Amino acid sequence: MKQTQALASDSTWTEKDAGELPGSPFVRIGSLWMLISAGDGPSGDWNTMTASWGGLGVLWRKNVAFVFVRPGRRTVEYMNGDGQFSLSFFDEEYRGALEFCGANSGRDYDKAEKTGLHPVYFKDGTLGFAEAQDVLSCRKLYTHDFDPAGFLDPAIDKDCYPDKDYHRLFIGEITAYRTRRR
């Protein structure tokens, strides 16, 4: 289903170097979670979902983000179709909104309407939310589905993939870091 149409981002956002992103990725991603978003903001043809697995690092001489999306997610369809995606980071007060986006599909709900989050789009076309503190915009560089033959610890397959819905890895070059921090 269509999502709320995103509005152009306003002057509350500042662009910074990716190296200035504060906090440990273990906390920012693993504990506070993030929203992965892709699609076309202005038309409402976009989607977003909560993720707590992923990382930030350096690869191929670039700052990169990597995320893992299971094949059944609506978001993966947008990730596949779009050359870009974004990662939005929020303060603890938005835990409820991220819980909703992690328990419901964009196939069934307008997630912005349900959570009260306001989607915004940046000049490069990537999506963020007016309530986010930090947004990383990424250009897709690499994608690959996990091959269970590669799991060296059999517990991974057993514990994480009872339905054999192996994640698709997306590695993106971080092309912009935008923040509302002052």
Ligand X SMILES: Cc1cc2nc3c(=O)[nH]c(=O)nc-3n(C[C@H](O)[C@H](O)[C@H](O)COP(=O)(O)O)c2cc1C
Query: Is 68 near ligand X (CB under 6 A)?
Result: yes
Task: Report the residue from 53, 151, 161, 166 that binds ligand X according to the rule CB under 6 A.
Answer: 53
How far apart, in whole angstroms, are the C-alpha atoms of residue 108 and residue 100?
A: 12
Nearer to ligand X, 33 or 90 (CB): 33
- Residue listed under structure tokens 């670039």: 62
Residue partners of 14: CB distance under 8 A and separation at least 6: 178, 179, 180, 181
50 near ligand X (CB under 6 A): yes
- Angle at the Cα of 53 from the Cα atoms of 4 and 85, rounded to 5 degrees: 40
Contact of 177 with 154, CB cutoff 8 Å: no
Q: Report the site for ligand X in 73-102 (rule: CB under 6 A).
A: 73-75, 99, 102
Which among 62-70, 125-133, 140-148, 151-159 is the span making contact with ligand X, rule CB under 6 A?
Answer: 62-70
Per-residue contact flags (x/-) with ligand X for residues 5 to 44, judged by CB under 6 A: ----------------------------x-----------
- Asked if 70 is part of the footprint of ligand X (rule: CB under 6 A), the reply reads yes
- Can residue 143 be called a binding residue for ligand X (CB under 6 A)? no
Q: Per CB under 6 A, does 47 bind ligand X?
A: yes
How far apart (Å, rounded) are the C-alpha atoms in residues 114 and 88? 17
Q: Which of 5, 105, 133, 175 binds ligand X (CB under 6 A)?
A: 105
Rounded to 5 degrees, φ, ψ at 157 are -65, -45
Residues forming beta bridges with residue 178, ordered by sequence position: 15, 135
Rg (CA), the chain: 16
State the residues that interact with ligand X by CB under 6 A: 33, 47, 49-53, 68-70, 73-75, 99, 102-107
